[in-house]
A and B are shown apart, each in its own frame.
Chain A
């Protein structure tokens, strides 16, 4: 059974810092990995999707990497802003329907 772990559970940084969120998974037989953002009381917004054959994806200030063999992914956020404050969820796609298994998330607070 696939298990996804995210470290740290919470992170507080001053505005402008670069930061890294970590995600690990137990079964390397994945199709893809998605990073989501969730604001309090809101739904999930997809940030980046990395296919299993890819090593990284970039979108603006966000860069996600994937090391499938070691079961790890990182989400790098450059020059953090207070608007980046949210919970960041990592999810891996596996199984016959490529269903997602989610980590428990990292709650990020960027202080102005």
Chain B
């Protein structure tokens, strides 16, 4: 298995632009998680899905953030409009039956 795949690996955008981050979980995994990592706050859970259904989005910082999982093999995290304080590394992770989580390589987002 190729593991969790994220794209793009790096994204540089200007304030106010829409940003879409993509994730392909490991085949057969039923949980998908989105995390954000910053120097100030460390790793934080943003939202997670179970069988493609969003279960808890209490970690999503603002309404500018949204996430979808249209099928078992694809998820997106969208920021609209983006702001400089959104600059961070965004990780996607997946697991089977809430067991060990496997992380993707992350997307480094820079908003100028």
Q: List residues of A whose CB falls within 8 A of some B CB.
A: 31-32, 34, 36, 41-46, 49, 89, 91, 93, 95-105
Contacts and interface: CB of A to CB of B under 8 A. Distances in A.
A89 B42 CA distance: 10
B100 A43 contact: no
A101 B91 CA distance: 14
Main secondary structure of the interface of B (DSSP, over half): strand
A41, A97, A103: residue with the most chain B Cβ atoms closer than 10 Å: A97
A97 B100 contact: no
B55 A102 contact: no
Interface of B: 31, 33, 42-45, 48, 50, 55-56, 91, 93, 95, 98-106, 108
B31 A46 contact: no
Contact of A97 (B31, B43, B102, B106): B31
B42 A97 contact: no
B31, B43, B56, B105: residue with the most chain A Cβ atoms closer than 10 Å: B43
